[in-house]
Amino acid sequence: MGKPKAVIVGGSIAGICGAHALIRAGWDAVVLEKTPAPPSGSPTGAGLGLDPSSQKIIESWLQQPQLLQETTLPLAVDQNQATDGETKLSRTLARDEHFNFRAAYWADLHSLLYGALPLDIVLWGYLFLSFSMYDDKSKVEVKTKVLETGITINIVADLLIAADGCLSSIRQSFLPDLKLRYSGYCAWRGVLDFSSKKHSEAIISLKKLYPDLGKCLYFDLSSGTHSVFYELLNHRFNWIWYMNQPEPNLKGNSVTMKVNKNLVQNMHEEAEKTWVPELVRVIKEINEPFLNVIYDCDPLEQIFWDKVVLIGDAAHPTTPHGLRSTNMSILDAAVLGKCLEKWEVENLNSALEEYQSIRLPVTTKQVLYSRRLGRIKQGLSLSDRPSFDPKAASPEDYEELQQKNMPHFYDIPSLLK
C-alpha cells in the first residue's frame, strides 16, 4: 500500500513543523509554499520565545539537538516594569526568574527546522489553488500552480493540513462567515543588529538600564501602551511596541502594513514622549521597522472536516501577548503527528478527533487569555476589572502581568510524554 500521504499548505514554521511530525509518524508529506525560495530574512516575523515543551519537541526532530541551544539565547527572566513618560524613570512591577524560555530569531528557527527536513519535501513557488474531496471521501485532491511555469498540478493525498496562517483560505472554505477580531491596537516591530557597535556608548548605557539583556524578556508598561524588548543571538535586539489606534484599512492578504517615512517619523516622536532615551535611540536606529495589525478570533469549535485539518494560526489566530503563536503551532504539529501514528490511516477520523479533543480546550483558553493580557497591558477596558494604569495599580494587579499565569502554561499533553 505504501505510506499514507499528506499535503501541507504553508511553508512557515507551522507547516515545516507539520512535515517533521508527519515524517516521524511514518507518513509522506509534501509542503506547498508560494514564496519562491526559503526565507533568508524575516520581513514579517522577527523575534519569538520558545517554551520548554516546544524546545523538547524541536530537539527531538533534529539530528543534532544541541543546535537549538546554539541558535537561541535564554529567556530565564520575565520582567514587567513601568516607565513614567514624564520623568523617564522605570520601576519593576513583577519579575519571574524561573521563566525557562529561549529567544529565537524567526528566520534562524525556520532555517534550522527546514534544514533538518529531507530534500524536496517543501515545494517552493507552488501556489495553493483549491481542494476537493473524492465522492467516497477516501482521498483529497489538491490543485496547485507552479508560479515559475504557470503549470497547474493535482496532488492526491490522504490528508490536507492547513498551515496557511491566520487568514487561512482553507479555513474560510468551511467557515466563510468567520471574521477576525481587531484588537484595538497595532504593533511596531524591528530588529537592531548592533554587532558593529557592541562597545559604543549607546549600547553600554542601554545595558546598564536593562542589565539582564541576554537572558530577560522585558515588558515596559506606560499609560495605555507597552513595549517588549529582548536580545537575540548574534548581537541583535528585538523590539515591539503596541499602540492603540482605530483599525487600519489593510490591502492585500497580509496583516503587515507598509509604512512610509512620515509614519516612522511620527512613531519616533511618540517614542521620545513615552520611553527612556536609551530605548528611543535603539528604536531610531532600526532601519526598516514594520507595523503589524493585531488580530485574533473567537475560538473555533471545530478544527477538522473529513480529511482536512487546521494547525497553527489557521486553527487559532491569537494576539502575541502570551508568546503562544509559534508554541501552539509546534504543539499542534507534534500532537497531530502522534495521533496519526497511534491510529494509522485506516482510522484517520479517530486520529483527527483525538487531535481536536486534546488541542481545542488548551488553545481556546490560551487565545482568550492572550486577548485579556493584551487589553490589560494596553490599558483597555475589561468587564471584570478597571483599566490597568501602572501608576495606580496594586501589587495584586502586577502579578496578573506575568506569563506564567497563562492557562496550561506548564502542561505537556500525555501523548507526548
Q: What does the pLDDT read at residue 376?
A: 96
Confidence class of residue 227 from pLDDT cuts 50, 70 and 90? very high
Q: What does the pLDDT read at residue 230?
A: 96
41: which strand partners?
none
Q: What does the pLDDT read at residue 9?
A: 98
> Residue 349 pLDDT > 80, yes or no?
yes
Confidence class of residue 85 from pLDDT cuts 50, 70 and 90? confident
> Residue 44 pLDDT > 80, yes or no?
no
Mean pLDDT of 353-380: 97
Q: What does the pLDDT read at residue 366?
A: 97
Q: What does the pLDDT read at residue 40?
A: 74
Q: What does the pLDDT read at residue 87?
A: 92
Q: What does the pLDDT read at residue 335?
A: 98
102: which strand partners?
50, 74
Mean pLDDT of 76-92: 94
Give dist(CA 168, CA 241) in Å, integer: 26
Q: What does the pLDDT read at residue 253?
A: 79
> Residue 104 pLDDT > 60, yes or no?
yes
CA atoms within 13 A on the CB side of 161: 36
SS3 letters across 110-158: HHHHHHCCCCCCEEECEEEEEEEECCCCCCEEEEEEECCCCCEEEEEEC
Q: Encode pLDDT of 288-307 as tens digits.
A: 899 999 999 999 999 999 99
> Residue 357 pLDDT > 80, yes or no?
yes
380's grid cell:
483597555
Confidence class of residue 54 from pLDDT cuts 50, 70 and 90? very high
Considering only residues 348 and 410, tell me which one the structure prediction assigns the higher pLDDT: 348
Q: What does the pLDDT read at residue 41?
A: 62
> Residue 39 pLDDT > 60, yes or no?
yes
> Residue 263 pLDDT > 80, yes or no?
yes
Q: What does the pLDDT read at residue 301?
A: 97
Residue with cell 557597535: 197
Residue with cell 493585531: 294
Q: What does the pLDDT read at residue 1?
A: 64
Q: Encode pLDDT of 370-410 as tens digits.
A: 999 999 999 999 999 999 999 888 998 999 999 999 999 98
pTM of the model: 0.96
Mean pLDDT of 68-96: 95
Tell me the CA distances in angstroms from 53 to 64, 164, 319, 328, 369, one per residue in order.
18, 23, 20, 10, 19
Backbone angles phi, psi at 175, to 5 degrees: -125, 70
Q: Encode pLDDT of 264-286 as tens digits.
A: 999 999 999 999 999 999 999 99
Q: Encode pLDDT of 156-214 as tens digits.
A: 999 999 999 999 999 999 999 999 999 999 999 999 999 998 889 889 999 999 999 99
Express as a percent the part of the chain with pLDDT over 90: 89
> Residue 45 pLDDT > 90, yes or no?
no
Backbone angles phi, psi at 60, to 5 degrees: -70, -20
Question: Which positions ≥6 away from 186 have C-beta within 8 Å?
Answer: 242, 243, 245, 248, 257, 291, 292, 293, 294
Q: What does the pLDDT read at residue 274?
A: 95
> Residue 43 pLDDT > 90, yes or no?
no
> Residue 42 pLDDT > 80, yes or no?
no
Q: Encode pLDDT of 118-163 as tens digits.
A: 999 999 999 999 999 999 999 999 999 999 999 999 999 999 999 9
Q: What does the pLDDT read at residue 183?
A: 97
Express as a percent the part of the chain with pLDDT over 70: 99
